[in-house]
Amino acid sequence: MNNTRLVTFCFLAQIHDNSVGITDFNPIFEPIVKIGLSDMNRKGITKGKSQLEIKKYIDDRFGLDMPIPLLGSVLKKIAFEANKTGDVSDFILHRDGSFQMRNFIFSSFDDQIERAERNIEIVEELYTKYLDSLGLDKAARIPLLNFISQQNSRLSRLFAHGEEIELEGSYIHPAQFLNLIKSDQDVFQVLKKIYLGSLITSYLELEIGPSKTKLEFLLDTNFILGLLDLNSEESTHTCRKIVDICKKLKFRLLVLPDTIEETTALIDRSSRQLNTTFVQTQLDPESIFSACARNGWGKTKLDKFASTLPDILRNEYGIYQIANQTIFKNKAKYNYPNLYKHYLKIRDGNEFSALHDTTAEVYVLEKRGKKVTDFLNSKCWFVSNTKHPIRIQKEYSYPTIIRADTLVNILWLSNPSIRTEVLSGDVAEMGLNRLITSTISESLPSSRVLKEFDKNLATYAADNIDEEDCFRASLKIAEESVGGFEELNKLAKQNSSLFIERLNELSREKVKEVEGFKILLGEIRNDIIKNIEAKGIGVSPNGSARYIKIIRWLVFALTLVMISPCIWLFSYGFDSNLKYYLIKSAIQTMLIFGLINIPLSQHWKTWLGIIISFIILILSYLGLSS
């Protein structure tokens, strides 16, 4: 992905954050069109036979694919504004789509675009140095910003084309990098803007709006675990946010009795294994074991969840069980044999799990009653909190399953009332953090391999290596920078001494990496602070950039107030002493103005030249008049 598109993402997010009370995204794209027209005007393109000429230029300039209807409505608004101000010659749009313009200049967002470009350069430099510190081969490197933005490409691909794209390659290194720097809000804010901008851009491909019917959502096992805070913190936030939104929009939340049974069995099994797992507890942020460690829960808490699950779902979240599950189970097994075989293969022959998933999809298909072609008429969805891409069954046309993180995004995009309550920063925060935890979790091997590794740790390493070293070694293996858990399991069986020695070696390597990254982050952090102070790279959301702009204009106005009397007094020839003090005051004011503006301005050389020129002119006048 080129930087043009990434800059556009940041720019769109910035416009959105500065737009209060918008009810749709169309106004956010208006500056994009105005900048495109202004650029065309500067290049001498002042007329055309079709709006397609404008579309081609804007698409190339910003890396977008702007729909013709959206472009047309924005162009009509621009032409109407020009007509209202009397400058109809600035931009004229004819009924046949042809256009004319003269002196159409729009530079209001130049600073923001330049700022976005610099922010992206800083983050990319930090990420490159991080990969260099790991010694990772350049051919194996995944671009960080592609990783962030491709997640929302999944969303637009899913709803525009009925399928999810598979992300190529391993994304563990971008995820680990994001995990390391997310506490640094200046850097993380840039990445959140890219995520939000890519989400807003996906709106261009989605013909969506508020649903025409009251939707039903059938919830999967992993969604229930997220609600109970038996998954990652990010999953819990996402799942609970969906429940809150559905309550507000009066959407129904349902669950199959078999989902209750499957969830209860999983919690029971985890309760029995709670004290015998180490790797999943430490490394997998989306495991029940990790959630229990984070919350300080033990076996008693898990047993309570298992014994009272239906009551918890009904009383605390308003989720009810489907009463006639048997009807849909029979249809799933006998009326949808291909779908059932599909899930038998995915579930490795586990008939209960395969029938459960098939029943859930059949329920959605039966509730819809006919083939669905858009989100507005979809009626019902099976909501999964899975970290894996959704595999669409082509014969059923439109998807029936939706991931929780995709659903929260689509609800936010399609409902203006939700956008006023769920802040864009929250959406970006949820999306990026879930992206981190799900990628780290997905990079781990199967539970069977991890259990074997846990057993080897308990057998050979318990008395020979401390827990912290085990954790660091496991983290190093999980990052795929070494051979993997399988090789360590083989080594443990062959030579336990070498197994322990290898773990200690991996732990030392991880310590060295972490310490090196802290130094690196400190150096880059200093560069970021310098850029914020000297070049105005305002990435914090507290409005400091707007405050600085106001201060600049106040000082500029004060300077004019001071210089104007000086010019008047020079013209009428007051005595030399008074003239001396006035000149001194004027020069002092100019210097104060410069000291405030020059460090904050990206055009500091221009400001410095103007101020020096003013001082020289004043001194020259003094010399000529003496």
Q: What is the pLDDT of residues 424-481, one digit of tens each?
A: 667 778 788 888 888 888 777 777 888 888 888 888 877 778 778 887 888 788 776 4
Amino acid at position 84, single letter: K
How far is the C-alpha of 127 from the C-alpha of 176, rounded, in Å? Answer: 11
Structure tokens at 366: 């039966």
Tell me which residue of 625, 550, 618, 553 sits closest to 588, measured CA to CA: 618
pLDDT at 372: 76
Report field, pTM of the whole predicted structure over 0.75: no
What number of other Cβ atoms are within 10 A of residue 107's Cβ?
10
Q: What is the pLDDT of residues 546-556, one digit of tens each?
A: 444 555 555 66
Burial category of 17 from C-beta neighbours within 10 Å (exposed 0-12, middle 13-18, buried 19 and up) = middle
Contact 127, 136 (CB under 8 A): no
Tell me which residue of 105, 97, 130, 118 sits closest to 3, measured CA to CA: 118
Contact 150, 167 (CB under 8 A): yes
- Average pLDDT value for residue range 122-136: 81
Contact 354, 343 (CB under 8 A): yes
Q: What is the pLDDT of residues 244-266, one digit of tens each?
A: 989 988 899 999 999 999 999 99
pLDDT at 496: 86
Alpha helices in 444-537 (DSSP H): 447-456, 467-478, 485-494, 496-535
Contact 402, 238 (CB under 8 A): no
pLDDT at 525: 62
pLDDT at 305: 95
How high is the mean pLDDT of the chain? Answer: 76
